[in-house]
Amino acid sequence: MTTLISFIIVLGVLIFIHELGHFVLAKLLGVGVEKFSLGFGPKLIGIKRGETEYRISILPLGGYVKMVGEAPGEEVPERDLSRSFTNKPVGKRAAIVAAGPMMNLVLAALLLPVIFMIGVQVPAYLDKEAVVGFVAPDEPAAKAGIREGDIITSADGKEVDDWEDLLSALALNPGKPMELGAVRGSETIKVSITPSSSEAGAGYGGIFPPMRPVIGDVASGYPAKEAGIKAGDEILEVNGKKIAHWAELEEIIHKSGDEKDFIIKRDGGTLSFRVKPKFNKDAKIYLIGISRKEEQVLRKYGFFESMEKGAAASIDMTGKLFIVIKGLVLGKYSLKTLGGPIMIAQVAGKAAQAGISDLLSLVAFLSLQLGIINLFPIPVLDGGHILFFGIEFVKGSPLSEKFMAIAQQLGIALLIALMVLVTYNDLFRIFG
């Protein structure tokens, strides 16, 4: 029930804000609005105020604002011509259409600072001294000579108090040489490191804080679950090699699908398991279906810092969205990774159980995605309409009704195909 209620709230907010953008600007620009609907299809409930009927319809996966004279070729009474959408200048029509996705972007921009003020869960190690727990082989830190146990104290002359300082310094210098100061035993050393650039453009050093190899979750449908490994287990050895760090464990598992012997600590005793990793085509690595148990702490920020972090989070999420879209287009990521309404419902349910901050974070994340994707120049989406208005502006006359009808049909077919795909993916994740 929590999952269903959370799903309705999340989706309802996103749809309402989007349609409110269309509605408000249409009213401000003198366009008549006949219907404001949350959902599609037959009406569940509705109320009429003035010329507008406000309604909730049976299919909750969207909504619409029906404006006077909106449809091409629609007959409009003489008295309503001045309030007709199609009779407004092309710039005003484009603005009304763009107002929906823009409201989603505004909602995300407003929510993110609020989330940081309420408080966000962050890894506990970020506040701890930058003691190196593991150095990934062949990565920048290893090449620079950094070793396990080193304590990083400075980056390019600036003091490093904790892991957050260090990771921020590395992230801001992709591909640029920088000097790190460190304490190694009783001596102070300096090393030059050139962080590599991640796919998102941030710098990466290949160093990790201490992370005990304790399992936080075990995924269904993967070898670890089938073998009997449980959350809370601590992995002590793999194939006779002692494991002291989670990243070290990942290095061993990800490389090959050969059967591996695990020695695990559970309830004060030790158990042995033989597990054969499963190849994941999307990630292109071998997995056994475990995730790390990570200590989290609640961190709250002041107003100005929240504004700064909210803006940074917006930019970061936008960049990652375009990286994923690029990967899907180029075939780097599988279409199987896409999720639909069922996945959103599941994530919404978990977010609601985690707390208000997580639920608002999900709303902000989805609202940002909805706003950006809706601006893509695809027929049926708002961006498609804006593209047509742009062509009309350059051409000096509207596009033909036949062309518009065909474009709309293609857009609808594309959306239906996408909905079928993501629903299949959702069901496959549950039952496959």
- Give the residue numbers annotated as catalytic, written as ranges: 19
Phi-psi label, residue 175: left if phi above 0, alpha if psi -120 to 50, beta otherwise:
left
d(CA 158, CA 161): 10
Q: How many CA atoms lie within 13 A of 332 on its CB side?
A: 9
Q: Cβ distance 234 to 214 under 8 Å?
A: yes
The string of DSSP letters for 305-349 reads: HHHHHHHHHHHHHHHHHHHHHHHHHTTSS-GGG---HHHHHHHHH
Total residues found in the chain within this entry: 432
What totals of helices (H) and strands (E) does the chain contain, helices first?
11, 20
Classify residue 131 by its DSSP letter.
B
In DSSP terms, 280 is beta-bridged to 285
Q: Can you tell me the distance from the alpha carbon of 304 to that of 317, in angstroms, rounded to the nearest whole number?
A: 20
Q: How many Cβ atoms sit within 10 Å of the Cβ of residue 123?
A: 15
210 backbone φψ class: left, alpha, beta (φ>0; ψ -120 to 50): beta
DSSP structural state of residue 235: E
3-state secondary structure 158-174: EECCCHHHHHHHHHCCC
Q: In whole angstroms, what is the distance from residue 245 CA to residue 133 CA? A: 7
What does the radius of gyration of the chain's CA atoms come to, in whole angstroms? 27
Buried/exposed 317-330: b ≥16 CB within 10 Å, e otherwise:
bbeeeebbeeeeee
What whole-number distance in Å separates Cα of residue 64 and Cα of residue 122?
Answer: 38
* 43: DSSP letter: E
3-class state of residue 398 by DSSP: coil
How many other CB atoms sit within 10 Å of the CB of residue 30? Answer: 11
